[in-house]
Amino acid sequence: MLVVEDEPIVRDVLHRYLSRGGFEVESVEDGETALAAFAASPPDLVLLDLMLPRIDGVEVFTRIRADHDTPVIMLTARGEETDRVVGLEIGADDYVTKPFSPREVVARVRAVLRRAGVAVEAGGGPLRIDGLEIDARGRKVRIHGHPAALTPKEFDLLLFLAANPGTVFSRTDILDELWDFAFDGDPATVTVHIRRLREKIERDPSRPQHLVTVWGTGYRFDP
């Protein structure tokens, strides 16, 4: 997959989220470099900013589509109708307006690839750890066979930590990974979610077995 975005922060966030979603990602910052990268190794999909230096996104799209039917999702800087119309009128497969949720972009990418007939990695089966079962595809959690009522954010937090066992993440790391990149949040938000999650999945929330606090650093998941 090729990400073409001139804003470094946005480009980095997209690269990390898409890589974490199982995609092989190449990121570039301008239209000229994008065309060179595409010619060197045509990707399965292009995530293309409309406003780019050197060669703009419309011209990049036009040159790509001259010889290829590669799916393209346009990124537009504003939510104005004119930007959306430009993206769709030139034949883009989808568009996303900024600011956006990185997880929504990953979902849009998967949907466009499915429509294009490109195989998308569905992931493995549920994670099973000591009576705890986490079904990523179904977004369900069971404790010794009984369903656990988690909020969407609690589920995301549990899945993220359980998928990286033994790795310590600071509260800022977790905010960066699970909350929107533009969210100027209080790290205490993570503390509250961890506490509530412990109450739902741990035998003794006061002495957690899985969601462990690493004092002065953050949290980790122990199998």
- The DSSP line for 84-103 is HHHHHHTT-SEEEESS--HH
Tell me which DSSP letter residue 169 carries: B
Pick the CATH number of 2-115 from 3.20.20.140, 3.40.1190.20, 3.40.720.10, 3.40.50.2300: 3.40.50.2300
How much is the pTM? Answer: 0.57
Q: Domain 127-221 belongs to what architecture?
A: Orthogonal Bundle (1.10)
Tokens 């938000």, residue located: 189
What is the per-residue pLDDT across 119-140, written as a single tens digit (0 to 9) for each? 554 455 678 888 899 987 788 8
pLDDT of the residue at 88:
61
pLDDT of the residue at 218:
94
pLDDT of the residue at 81:
55
Q: Are strands 46-49 and 2-4 parallel, antiparallel or unpaired?
A: parallel
Tokens 């409309």, residue located: 50
Integer Cα distance of 92 and 72 in angstroms:
5
Distances (CA, A) of 51 to 7, 109, 162, 171, 180: 10, 20, 38, 34, 22
pLDDT of the residue at 214:
95
Q: Which amino acid is at 6?
A: D
pLDDT of the residue at 124:
54
Task: Extract the residue ranges of the chain whose pLDDT is less than 70.
Answer: 78-89, 117-125, 180-185
What is the per-residue pLDDT across 44-83, written as a single tens digit (0 to 9) for each? 999 999 889 889 888 999 999 888 889 999 888 765 555 5
pLDDT of the residue at 82:
56
Q: Are 219 and 197 in contact (CB under 8 A)?
A: no
pLDDT of the residue at 87:
58
- The DSSP line for 106-167 is HHHHHHHHHHTT-------S-EEETTEEEETTTTEEEETTEE----HHHHHHHHHHHTSTT-
Domain residue ranges in the chain? 2-115, 127-221
